[in-house]
Amino acid sequence: MIAYPELYMMIDGERVTGGNRDTHKVLNPATGDVLAELPLATAADLDRALAAAQRGFRRWRNTPAQERAAVLQGAARLLRERADAIGRIATLEEGKTFTESRLEVGMVANLFDFYAGECQRLYGRVLVRPAGLRSTVIKEPVGPVAAFAPWNFPLSNPGRKLGAPIAAGCSVILKSAEETPASALAVLQALLDAGLPGDVAQAVFGVPDFVSRHLLASPIIRKLSFTGSTVIGRHLLKLAADDLKRTTMELGGHGPVLVFDDADIEKALTMMVPHKFRNAGQVCVSPTRFIVQDTVFDDFVKGFAERAAAIKVGNGLDPDVGMGPMANPRRPEAMERLVADAVARGAGLETGGERIGNQGFFYAPTVLSNVPVDAEIMNDEPFGPVAIINPYKDEDAMIAEANRLPYGLAAYAWTRDAARQRRLASELETGMLTINSTAVAAPDAPFGGVKWSGHGSEDGIEGVEACLVTKAIHEA
Closest residue by Cα to residue 317 from 90, 64, 80: 90
Q: Does residue 383 bind ligand NAD (CB under 6 A)?
A: yes
**What angle (nearest 5°) sits at the alpha carbon of residue 224, between those of residues 220 and 228?**
150
> Strand 23-27 and strand 407-408: pairing?
unpaired
**What angle (nearest 5°) sits at the alpha carbon of residue 467, between those of residues 431 and 438?**
30
Determine contact, residues 101/316, Cβ cutoff 8 Å. Answer: yes
Q: Does residue 228 bind ligand NAD (CB under 6 A)?
A: yes
Catalytic choice (93, 179, 250, 458): 250
Question: Using CB under 6 A, which of the segments 69-77, 89-97, 230-238, 267-275 binds ligand NAD?
Answer: 230-238
Nearer to ligand NAD, 169 or 446 (CB): 446
250 is catalytic: yes
| Min dist. Cβ of residue 365 to ligand NAD (A) | 18
Q: Does residue 208 bind ligand NAD (CB under 6 A)?
A: yes
Determine contact, residues 384/361, Cβ cutoff 8 Å. Answer: no
Nearer to ligand NAD, 409 or 467 (CB): 409
Distance CA(155)–CA(108), nearest Å, equals 7
Q: Which of residues 326-345 bind ligand NAD (CB under 6 A)?
A: 330
C-alpha 387 chain-centroid distance:
20
Length of the chain: 476
H or E stretch at 454 = strand 454-455
Q: Which of residues 131-170 bind ligand NAD (CB under 6 A)?
A: 148, 150-152
| Min dist. Cβ of residue 77 to ligand NAD (A) | 27
Query: Among residues 284, 292, 335, 468, which is the contact residue for ligand NAD, using CB under 6 A?
Result: 284
Query: Among residues 156, 171, 227, 288, which is the contact residue for ligand NAD, using CB under 6 A?
Result: 227
Helices 98-118 and 65-81 sit at what angle, rounded to 10 degrees? 160
Q: Does residue 447 bind ligand NAD (CB under 6 A)?
A: no
Please tell me the count of residues contacting ligand NAD according to CB under 6 A: 22
Q: Does residue 193 bind ligand NAD (CB under 6 A)?
A: no
284 is catalytic: yes
Closest residue by Cα to residue 360 from 397, 306, 323: 323
Q: Does residue 229 bind ligand NAD (CB under 6 A)?
A: yes
Contacts with ligand NAD by CB under 6 A lie at: 148, 150-152, 177, 208-209, 212, 227-229, 231-232, 235-236, 250-252, 284, 330, 381, 383
